[in-house]
Amino acid sequence: MKSFSLILLCFLLLTGCVQQQIIDEVNVETGLGFDLLEGNRIKGTVLYPQFLPDKSVNNVTIVESAKVSRDLLSKLERQSNQPLVTGSLEVVLFGKKLAKEGFFHLIDSLQRDPNIGSRIDLAVVDGTAEEVLQGKYGMEGNGVYIKSLMDHNMKYRDVPRQNLHLFASYLYSKGRTTYLPIIRKVNNTELEISGMGLFNNKRLVQKIGEEKMFFFKILVDKYSEGSETIKLDGDEAVVRSISSTNKIKVNTHKHPTEVTIEVKVNGVIREFTGNHLDMKKENVIREKFEKIIKKETLSMLKQFQKNHIDPVGIGERVQSVTRHFNWSKWRDEYPNVKFKVKPKVIIMESGTVE
């Protein structure tokens, strides 16, 4: 009985140590943006929702600038009428100009904040983060809208999985370079994901346009859902419900090193604009799809070598099968690696004919 009483007392004491915050007495951040100004100053934009009596949401932003992130956060706090809390932060955006210079120190600050979850979404903005956060998207507030946009495209479209944890992990890795989606403001009520930004030495060095994102994702991630349109002698076939996997095989006994990437794609032909879709045409569609995958992915891999980036993680694979691996030697060898892509497309079924 004494032991039980002691344990109960400990719980009461621990509960009393937790700092309580009333939701109506704080400003809950849902979005955060950073842009680069002249003189290497950083402009920060904080976004938080203000809930109105009619249940609508007003998007409130606070903007400040400073030399270092610590001063920036203090200045933003001084502009807020109530304490700013980061526990519900959904997204962090980086302006394109800042991304080209690098924002490693900001990632470090985000990771060190115990109130910020490791699964928040990150993105580069084609323009400025301030401009994007000051729009008006959806009914639940800009932060929730941008988060939903990112999550939807990661699950069902061509954006590879990415968040603060994965980005930082790749950032610190020697055998893989990191990447982020690029967001573009269409108008004051609409956003779109316009491509993928690839980083080297913590700086943005290459952009993959939206028309090539499908091929990027099958190299660096896997599909659970997706779609691709195949043109065929004036007709078009839409392959949907795509699932994909990839397998990377490394042969270090050959000089230069030979890397074979096997890509398996399962899909369903949901639409075909021609008059009749038979087995023969299905095979033609499948073969053409395989040729397109092989051509586009090989071209992409060669571009990665040219820009000295490795988003696929080839360095990690080579290290795992090489004794006494030397990173310095690998960096010199990587541009000469010979790639082979072996795609396999399986058409599970065919659907409607237009």
Q: Which CATH number is 265's domain given?
A: 3.30.300.210
**pLDDT tens digits, 287-337:** 999 999 999 999 999 999 999 999 999 999 999 988 889 999 999 999 999
Residue 195 and residue 256 in one domain: no
Residue 180 and residue 138 in one domain: yes
**Is residue 18's pLDDT more than 50?**
no
Residue 133 and residue 277 in one domain: no
**In this predicted structure, what is the pLDDT of residue 2?**
54
Does residue 11 lie within any of the structural domains?
no
Residue 139 and residue 243 in one domain: no
Residue 25 and residue 134 in one domain: yes
Does residue 216 lie within any of the structural domains?
no
Does residue 179 lie within any of the structural domains?
yes
Residue 158 and residue 229 in one domain: no
Residue 101 and residue 75 in one domain: yes
Contact at 8 Å (CB) between 202 and 217?
no
Domain boundary among 148, 177, 210: 210
Residue 27 and residue 123 in one domain: yes
Under 8 Å CB-to-CB from 66, ≥6 apart: which residues? 41, 42, 44, 72, 75
Does residue 185 lie within any of the structural domains?
yes
pTM: 0.88
Residue 200 and residue 232 in one domain: no
Q: Give me the number of domains the chain comprises.
A: 2
Residue 168 and residue 34 in one domain: yes
Distance CA 343, CA 153 (A): 23
**pLDDT tens digits, 78-107:** 777 777 777 789 999 999 999 999 998 889
Does residue 312 lie within any of the structural domains?
yes
Is residue 214 packed enough to be buried (19+ CB in 10 Å), middle (13-18) or exposed (0-12)?
A: buried
Does residue 313 lie within any of the structural domains?
yes
**In this predicted structure, what is the pLDDT of residue 334?**
96
**pLDDT tens digits, 96-144:** 999 999 998 889 888 888 888 889 999 999 999 999 999 999 888 999 9
Q: Which domain, by its residues, includes 352?
A: 222-354
Domain boundary among 210, 236, 258: 210
First to last CA, the chain: 77
Identify the bridge partners of residue 195 per DSSP, sorted by sequence position: 182, 209
Contact at 8 Å (CB) between 137 and 191?
yes
Distance CA 189, CA 142 (A): 10
Does residue 14 lie within any of the structural domains?
no
What secondary structure, in 3-state letters, does the chain show? Answer: CHHHHHHHHHHHHHHHHCCCCCHHHCEECCEEEEEECHHHCEEEEEEEEEECCCCCEEEEEEEEEECCHHHHHHHHHHHCCCCEECCCCCEEEEEHHHHHHCCHHHHHHHHHCCCCCCCCEEEEECCCHHHHHCCCCCCCCHHHHHHHHHHHHHHHCCCCCCCHHHHHHHHHCCCCCCEEEEEEEEECCEEEEEEEEEEECCEEEEEEEHHHHHHHHHHHCCCCCCEEEEEECCEEEEEEEEEEEEEEEEECCCCCCEEEEEEEEEEEEEEECCCCCCHHHHHHHHHHHHHHHHHHHHHHHHHHHHCCCCCCCHHHHHHHCCCCCCHHHHHHHHHHCEEEEEEEEEEEEEEEEC
Residue 193 and residue 253 in one domain: no
Band of the pLDDT at 21, cuts 50, 70, 90?
Answer: very low
Does residue 15 lie within any of the structural domains?
no
Question: Which two three-digit tokens encode residue 43?
Answer: 């402009």
Domain boundary among 145, 178, 210: 210
